[in-house]
Every structure is written in structure tokens, then in C-alpha cells.
Structure 1
Amino acid sequence: MVATLLHEIPLQGGDVTDGVVRVGDTVRRPVSTSTPAVHALLRHLEAVGFDGAPRVIGMDGLGRQVLSFLPGSTGVRLESVRDEALGRLGGLLREYHDATLGFPLRMEGWEGGSNEDRAPEVVGHCDLSPGNVVFRAGVPYGLIDFDLARPTTRLFDVVTTLRHWAPLADPVDRHPLLRNVDVGGRVRSFCDAYGVTARERRLLVEVARVRFQRSYEVMRSRAALGGSWARMWAGGAGERIRRAVAWLDVHEDELHAHLV
């Protein structure tokens, strides 16, 4: 059991988990049904030498998870929208996926979420928004907030990441720094850095469409339960997904031209 210190700094990261705080060089997070599986995954990543994820330290006196704090910056910034940063992120996601190989994919306790129908290949992070990628000296080096991690395919996690980073979204819903970027070129750069295969590139738009539809359904059902999901839904999450689908339909040929 790890002692609880008094000085707590609230952390504003992802949209789903409330009550995340920093205490010294640690992060304290509420537990969930997925915590045992996530801790097992993080310990596996440590054992295989993947340095881009928090380490599990234990539990504190309030029953919260205690993880190591990864110093750096998160969010959409000038450093994070550069093409070279996007390429590094593609490589980092590939390193993470490869590090999960050998970890059991049938472990109980994973948080449910959207997925495609093909058999899982890796444990995906499944929530690599800008708030969950840590930069240091302008380079993305760390992944945080594994609460939505679960077995999936490489391509599904690639698409989920590109949803935020290309971004696959209507311009009205993009951060101002990403409003006028060359999305097709950024998708290609990310896929090149990751090593997405020619077959997977031909499937990418189709998988993106599946991801949007199923994410919409999952978010709508969770919003009915209240909490963070309800706030996200009330804030227009469903409408943003619908606009992203419409944007994808209009720009499908352009994306294929960059990928195939």
C-alpha cells in the first residue's frame, strides 16, 4: 500500500475518467473494472522494456491506483501538429503494439468498446487523443490513460489514432492548428511510419467508417448511464461523429489516392 500525500494536482487529460491527480512523481487514478487487466498490461510492457507507458506502483490509502508520472506536455500544440511529430507517433504506436505481442488477448476485465469484426491481433490503446500522448523536447515519447485499452486489430487502433491526429474530422470540429492541414498526406505519413501494409491501406477507409458507426452506438448507450459519457454526449460528441462520417464520404477518393 502506497501512502497518500496531501498535495494533489488535478490532471486534465482524457474525457472519460474523473478524479485523476498528480502527487509528486506519481499519478493517482480511480479504479475500474478494467484496472486488473490494465495493470497486468502495464507490468508486461515494463517487463519487455517498453519505456513509453507508466509503471504500476500500487494502490494508495484511498483505494486509488498509483502509477508513475510521465513528465512532459500533452494536447494540441505547435510541436504536436508537425509532420515529423506525427511520423514519430506512428512509430511509437507500432513499438507499443509490438510490445503487446505475447500478452494474453483473452484476459477478462477489459473495458468494452467499439471494435471491428476481425480477430484481435494486439492490445490496442484505443484512446490516443492528443491528451493521452506525452511530448518531451517536441517528440512524442509516452502513452497514458490505458483505461480503454482492449484487444483489437492493429488497423482499428491506427484508425482510432488517426481520428484525432490526421484528423479524420469535419474542419469545423478540428483544433484551429489542424483546421487546414493536408489530411490525406498526414494519413500517409503516419501509415508509412507505422508500417501499415498495402492490404491494410486498402481497408483503412472502410475500417474508419465501421469505427465511427460503432463508436456512435457505444457512446450513445453509455451516455444513458450518466457521468462523463453523458457530458460528452450532451456536448455534441454524437454530432461530431456524424459530421466525421459525412466528411469521410466526401473525401474517400482523396484518401485512397494518398494510401493506395
Structure 2
Amino acid sequence: NTLGHLGREIHRRYDEFGPLLVFDDGNKRFLSFGTADEQSCQLKKDPLILQHDYARCMFGVLTRYDDITAIRNITLLGTGGGTLATVLHERLSEAQIAAVDVRAAVFQVARQYFGLPRSPRLQTFTMDASHYLATVTAAQCDLLITDLYQAEGLDPLVLQPDFLKMCAAHLQQDGWLVLNLWKEHREQTDCLQHLKALFPTIAMNTTSDGNWIIWASRAQQNAADRTGRDEAKRRCKQLNELLEFNLWQQVKGFYRGS
């Protein structure tokens, strides 16, 4: 079993997309879709401290907001163990969150094994991400996070121009899109061209574990990118207390040359 390094298997189920497995090593809990890649990882004694570099990098987009309490509507495409959804729900107490996943079993496992909250502020939608975007009101979202992975890797939907267009339409003018890709996708320049055509402001960074994280905004560069390096550092200091990890370590790559 290639997954033994994740600890003891405590749950397994199958749906039409394949297996979902939960492992526990005593300290952490992991979700896997049956491959060696972890979909989610949660520290049991403090589930609100994000464990993966890429998740911390995605959260770093909070440094782009003058006031994080102004983030009222969040859409999360791809839920996994629900660790991002849970932390967003607990740390941004004013926000309404829509968590979308094509697998109903993902939500069941996230609730049962990873403590995904049942809350009027956190709605779950079992549907394909593009179908969800097609059904919701345009320009209503302050923060849109896509974390769409299948067992064999990134959902190819994420690189489609039509999907990126729908993401842009879903966001408010000063909202931010966060994409979690793999570093291999940096070579696919057409994806970046499509993004640049839709989002005048783009920042990107590659994490130590090989993810390529992009933050993109429809606001013009000068409006969206007022946050220079010093201001970003200051905001990180404030957010460190909330998030309980060193945010600047994760986000300084996004502020190169600013």
C-alpha cells in the first residue's frame, strides 16, 4: 500500500468517481482519493492551522484586502476534506461561504472526519463547478477559490478559457480569484494569456511542494495592487495572529519587485 506513510486507514468508501480514503497518524488526519497525493491534511489538536504550503499561499490573498471583514461572499470550487472551508468559516466570521464539489461523498467525509461545520453561513452544493457558476448571480463574489483536483491531478476544466470567463463574471470588480495549479502548468502559456485578458492584475508564486498559485483581480493594476511589499508585510503581521502561522513566509514570493 503506497499510502501507508499517511498512517492508519480509518475510513474508505467508493462513489462513481472512485475511492475516498481517510488516514490518521495520531497527530494528523489525511484525505486521499486513492493515490499518493494528499487531498487534505488536518492537524487534529488544532484543525484551524492550515498544514499545506499551497493552502497557506492561497490564504495569503487576504493580504490584498484593505479590510478582511469586507469579504462577505466566498465561493470555494473543490472542497476536499473541507479544511479551507472550515478555516474560512471560523476566521472570517462575517462571510457567507458556498462550498462546491461534484462528489456528495466528499461533503459526507469532510463533515464526519474533518469537522466541516454545519452552519447557515456555509452552504454546500453537490455539482460540477462550471454548472454552479452558470446558475449563480454574476458579480456577487468577493473571493473565489478554485481547488479542483481529481485522483489523477488537476481537473482540466480549470485551464479552459470558458471556465476562466465564468470565474471573472462571478467576481465583483475588486474581488480576487485564487487558482491552485501545478508548476507544470507554468509552461502552458495560453492559460496565462487567457487569464491576463480577463484579469488586469495577476500575482503568482510557486510553493516548495510544487503548486503554482495565482491570485487574479478584475480591478486595474493600480487600484488592485496598491499593496506594496511593506504594506503586505504589515498585513501579514496582523493576520499571523488570526491564522497561527507565518504568513509572510508563504506570500513574499507574490510581492517580488513591489
User: TM exceeds 0.5?
Assistant: no
Larger strand share, 1 or 2: 2
TM-score by length of 2: 0.37
Larger helix share, 1 or 2: 1
